[in-house]
Structure 1
Amino acid sequence: MIAKLEMFIALARERHFGRAADSLGITQPTLSTGIKQLEAHLGVKLVQRGSRFGGLTPEGQHTLLAARQIVGDARRLRDEMRATRLGLSGKVRLAVIPTALTWASRLATSFNRQNPNVEFSILSRSSHEVLTMIETLEADIGLSYLDNEPLGRVTNVGLYRETYTLVCHETHPLAARARANWADLADVQLCLLTPDMQNRRIINRNFMEAGVTPLSPIESNSTVVLVSNVVAGPWATILPTDMAAFLAAGQPLRVLPLDGGVPAHQVGLVAPHQEPQTPVLQALMTHGRDMAID
């Protein structure tokens, strides 16, 4: 039954039989058979079918909520039993906003050093995708903003507050300065993260507070692309302090602290709201508290 519920969850997520089957590593006929058997067992139609996936029926929508709960509980029980036999072990799927990837690496490395049987799969996603992946069981835990946009019903642990720096080429007119403020960037050619990223929305608010309309003819959802553009051309970008220091190391770049703007937002771990947490997630969140910077 659990396997069939997982098939149903995957189909609801992918909205396509072929992609859902691929995500589970099974054939499409196996998936279709599993869904039909689940419908027969429950005595209701869950999926609108035609030549392709047509959405969930009202009964399917209701079943999806229960399926996520049941599958989540089953995975938690499995992890608890495994921890009883083997100690902390398994793989943690960690979904992370792009600007927190250096922190994610630091967290995973230090946790794995203490718990070598725990592996990590670190996925770069927008803040909205982080929450969606936790809800749909695609991720076990996330690393995202905690106090800027609504999180919903989750458990969280703060790690640090995000401050910003200007990254420019060492030949840029602003490179000789020790610091900058948001108003200084009124006429600067910028490359910034795409608007679907919460970091970009925070940056836009900082510009709004300074009365500035940013010039950003190049956008990307990758911080690596932003810094590559700054190395190659007459651009500048804005990145969190930790990320800027990492990406600018060894490059002909200058990193200038940015003064002013809106109060710094907190970034931290976001986990499903459940009691108890799995042993691995509970240990990871405790580890995050120990690493946190006030």
Structure 2
Amino acid sequence: MIDKLEFFLALARERHFGRAAEECGVTQPTLSAAIRQLEEQLGVILVNRGSRFQGLTPEGQRVLEWARRIVSDSRTMREEMRAARKGLSGHMRLAAVPTTLSMVPLITAPFQEKHPDVTFSVLSTTSLQILALLENLEIDAGLTYLENEPLGRVTSVPLQIEQYHLVTAAGTALSDRESVTWKEVSDIRLCLLTADMQNRRIINQHFAEAGAVPKPTLESNSMIVLFSHVRTGRWASIMPYNVAKSFGFHEDIRMIPIVDPDVRHTVGLVATYREPFTPLVSALLHEARILGERNQVQ
């Protein structure tokens, strides 16, 4: 039954029999047969079928909730037994919004020093995608904003407080100031994160509070792209201080606090709320709490 539920989860994620089969490493007929066997076992139709996948039935949606819970519990049990035999090992899948990427090694480096048999993959994505990936069991944890927008049923550990700065090249507009207002920043050439990023929605909100509307002439979902354009001297950007600092200090770059309003936002680690956590997630949350305490945001 567990294998069939894994196949069903993959189909619900991919919404395509061929792609789901490829993800599971089986042929499409094998996956289709497993889904039909699951339907026979449960006595309900789970999938609306035509010439292609047409969505889940109402019963399929309910079984999807159970499948996530059962598969998650099964994975937790297997991981806990493996940890009991060999210590912590395995692979952790993380996702992070762009402004938190510089914090990832502050968790993964000490974690792997303690548990060298654990490997990591890190995906840069949006806050909404992080929540969807957690719900679909596609990641183990995410780094994102803990305020501003609903997180749902997650466990969260505050890691750092963001303070926004104008990041601009020396000798450009406003670069000689000790602080600037959101209204003043709205009048210069900006490069910002794309509109699907929560950081951008937060920035837009603070501009609106100041009675201003930003008009960026370049947008990207990569902080590296933004910082590279700032260094040309033709653009300025808005970044949390710790993000800008992570690129390294340069004599030709100024970081100026933005005030009126002077705002701060909390970012942290999130994982799907469950009891017990997998041994890997439990150890990761412990490492995150150590970082949060060091940054005094607990």
TM range (shorter): over 0.9
Q: Aligned equivalents of 2:250 and 2:27: distance in 1?
A: 47
Instruction: Name the residue aligned to 1:26.
Output: 26
Aligned pairs for 1:221-236 within 5 A: 221-232=221-232, 234-236=234-236
Once the two structures are superposed, residues 61-112 of structure 1 have per-residue CA deviations (whole angstroms, 9 ceiling, x without a partner) of: 1110110000000011111111111112111111111110011122111211
Structure 1's consecutive aligned runs of 4 or more residues displaced over 3 angstroms after TM superposition are: 248-252
Say yes or no: does 1:163 pair with 2:166. no
- In the superposition, relative to structure 1, how do residues 262 and 175 fare at CA in structure 2: closer, same or farther (>3 Å)? closer
Instruction: Name the residue aligned to 1:173.
Output: 173
TM-score (norm 2): 0.93
Secondary structure of residue in 2 paired with 1:216: coil
Instruction: Name the residue aligned to 2:123.
Output: 123
Across the aligned residues of Structure 1 and Structure 2, the Cα RMSD in angstroms comes to: 1.7
Q: Aligned equivalents of 2:68 and 2:156: distance in 1?
A: 20
Once the two structures are superposed, residues 255-279 of structure 1 have per-residue CA deviations (whole angstroms, 9 ceiling, x without a partner) of: 2232342631211111111111112
TM-score (norm 1): 0.94
Q: Specify the code of the residue in structure 1 equivalent to 2:289.
A: R
| Larger mean Cα displacement after TM superposition, 43-52 or 240-249 | 240-249
Do the aligned residues in 2 keep the contact of 1:227 with 1:248 (CA within 8 Å)? no
Secondary structure of residue in 2 paired with 1:20: helix
Instruction: Name the residue aligned to 2:63.
Output: 63
Secondary structure of residue in 1 paired with 2:187: coil
Say yes or no: does 1:98 pair with 2:98. yes
Do the aligned residues in 1 keep the contact of 2:100 with 2:243 (CA within 8 Å)? yes
User: How far apart are 1:188 and its partner, in Å?
Assistant: 0.6
Do the aligned residues in 1 keep the contact of 2:46 with 2:56 (CA within 8 Å)? yes
User: How far apart are 1:251 and its partner, in Å?
Assistant: 8.3
Secondary structure of residue in 2 paired with 1:215: coil
Identical positions, percent: 52
Instruction: Name the residue aligned to 2:107.
Output: 107
Do the aligned residues in 1 keep the contact of 2:163 with 2:240 (CA within 8 Å)? yes
Once the two structures are superposed, residues 15-38 of structure 1 have per-residue CA deviations (whole angstroms, 9 ceiling, x without a partner) of: 112222232233323222221222
User: How far apart are 1:210 and its partner, in Å?
Assistant: 1.8
Say yes or no: does 1:243 pair with 2:220. no
Aligned length: 294
Q: Specify the code of the residue in structure 2 equivalent to 1:185.
A: V
User: How far apart are 1:117 and its partner, in Å?
Assistant: 1.4
Instruction: Name the residue aligned to 1:39.
Output: 39
Once the two structures are superposed, residues 165-219 of structure 1 have per-residue CA deviations (whole angstroms, 9 ceiling, x without a partner) of: 2112234222233332322213111111112111111111211222221121222
Instruction: Name the residue aligned to 1:281.
Output: 281
Instruction: Name the residue aligned to 1:256.
Output: 256
Q: Aligned equivalents of 1:51 and 1:262: distance in 2?
A: 56
Aligned pairs for 1:142-221 within 5 A: 142-221=142-221
Q: Aligned equivalents of 2:27 and 2:137: distance in 1?
A: 21
Do the aligned residues in 2 keep the contact of 1:207 with 1:261 (CA within 8 Å)? no
| Larger mean Cα displacement after TM superposition, 256-265 or 134-143 | 256-265
Unaligned stretches of 5+ residues in structure 1: none
Q: Aligned equivalents of 1:131 and 1:78: distance in 2?
A: 24
Do the aligned residues in 1 keep the contact of 2:164 with 2:263 (CA within 8 Å)? no
Do the aligned residues in 2 keep the contact of 1:95 with 1:142 (CA within 8 Å)? yes
Q: Aligned equivalents of 2:265 and 2:129: distance in 1?
A: 19
Do the aligned residues in 2 keep the contact of 1:209 with 1:262 (CA within 8 Å)? no
Q: Aligned equivalents of 1:129 and 1:209: distance in 2?
A: 27
Aligned pairs for 1:53-92 within 5 A: 53-92=53-92
User: How far apart are 1:164 and its partner, in Å?
Assistant: 1.2
Unaligned stretches of 5+ residues in structure 2: none
Q: Aligned equivalents of 1:255 and 1:23: distance in 2?
A: 45
Secondary structure of residue in 2 paired with 1:271: strand
Q: Aligned equivalents of 2:155 and 2:22: distance in 1?
A: 31
Q: Aligned equivalents of 2:263 and 2:229: distance in 1?
A: 28
